Amino acid sequence: MMKVNDFQKYEVTLKIPYESYFGLIYETKYLLEARLCPERCFIAHHTIYACNRRKAVEKASDWYNKDLRQALGAPHLFMTINDPMREVHYEDGFICNELKNKYLDAATRDRLIEESKGDLAVDDSIGTETHPPASVKRVRRKKKQGIKLTSRLTQSSGGTIYYRMTEMPSSQDGRVKYRSVKLSSKSLAKAEKEVVRRGLDKFEKFSAGISTESTTAQPKAA
């Protein structure tokens, strides 16, 4: 029985190879609405009603696993689900294998890839029964930028603060080197105190081209 909030209609499409379809008939699993297409595949449609696409994917998977999986195999090989409400869209933090983003029909998949502007592509990997491929895959990972607190302090997306420390040159070319030092402090005020306490800023003046000696030296008497 359809629930009150299961108001949205989703269409499940099955594209079944010719030989596999007759395997269904052998198992007495009839899809009366299936039609043979020029590619020697049978195309069948099944309607699902759900409150959103995530729930529709869940219902479609339950239906497929109960009625067809034993005869056909894994659903990702045959099943797609449309996206009439355009619920699937690319955004920061997009997860390829999230339930609502699975079993995309060609139109939705192509639109999603276009929205990603090069971040996504068709997932054409084979996968396995237990670890099926998603409809799309990430082709380049978006690097999360840290927040610059000061000229030397940055905070990562996870909240860790790093100090850009100057190191004295070890070679004769006199080239200044830098390295990021992880701090235990979680706030800017505490991080600045930690830098001083640990002596991480002792070579800052050197990197600016000003030696400690030149700033403390007294002028010679005439």
Range of the domain at 46: 8-138
92 and 195 inside one domain: no
Give Cα 222 distance to the centre of its chain: 70
Q: How far is CA 39 from the centre of its chain?
A: 34
Banded model confidence at residue 21, pLDDT cuts 50, 70, 90 = confident
The answer to pTM > 0.75 is: no
Taking only the tens place, the pLDDT of each residue in 122-135 is 999 988 877 899 99
Residues 72 and 114 both lie in one domain = yes
Token reading at 132: 């099926």
**Tens of pLDDT along 94-111?**
999 999 999 999 999 999
In this structure, are 60 and 165 located in the same domain?
A: no
**Structural tokens at position 153:** 């302090």
Kindly tell me if the per-residue pLDDT of 181 is higher than 70: yes
* Integer Rg of the chain from CA: 30
Give the pLDDT mean for 35-53. Answer: 91
32 domain-assigned: yes
Beta bridge partners of 121: 137
